[in-house]
């Protein structure tokens, strides 16, 4: 993606999200110069909500994880194979069963 493509894309994303001018400047700098994506797609946010590494409240926001190579790669693979609604067995945490006493 060229610099011009990045400039156009972040302008579209911020317009769709309704970002105020001050925030648009911050997002422009993040996206064009720092390779940080401030507006992850809705399907990533939904996928991340079901991910076993998501600790919920008190954890990092979806934007942070979208910009993390590990989770972005997992998301891309799930999207390519049409598995966004599922979490692969290899990523699922085993259930902890209470032992009767």
Question: Same domain, yes or no, for 49 and 14?
Answer: no
CB 52 within 8 A of CB 59: no
Question: Same domain, yes or no, for 53 and 68?
Answer: yes
Summarised one tens digit per residue, pLDDT across range 49-98 is 888 888 776 667 889 999 999 999 999 998 888 888 776 556 656 555 55
Judge if pTM exceeds 0.75. no
* Of 77, 96, 99, nearest in space to 87 by CA: 77
Summarised one tens digit per residue, pLDDT across range 19-57 is 999 999 999 999 999 999 999 999 998 888 888 888 776
Question: Same domain, yes or no, for 33 and 54?
Answer: no
Confidence of residue 13 (pLDDT cuts 50, 70, 90): very high
Question: Same domain, yes or no, for 62 and 32?
Answer: no
Tokens at residue 5, please? 């493509």
């Amino acid at each position: 993606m060229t610099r011009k493509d990045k400039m156009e894309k972040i302008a579209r994303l911020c317009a769709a999200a309704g970002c105020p001018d001050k925030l648009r400047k911050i997002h422009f700098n993040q996206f064009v110069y720092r390779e940080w994506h401030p507006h992850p797609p809705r399907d990533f946010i939904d996928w991340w909500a079901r991910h076993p590494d998501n600790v919920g409240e008190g954890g990092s926001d979806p934007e942070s994880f979208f910009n993390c190579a590990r989770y972005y790669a997992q998301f891309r693979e799930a999207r390519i194979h049409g598995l966004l609604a599922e979490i692969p067995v290899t990523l699922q945490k085993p259930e902890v069963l209470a032992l009767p006493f």
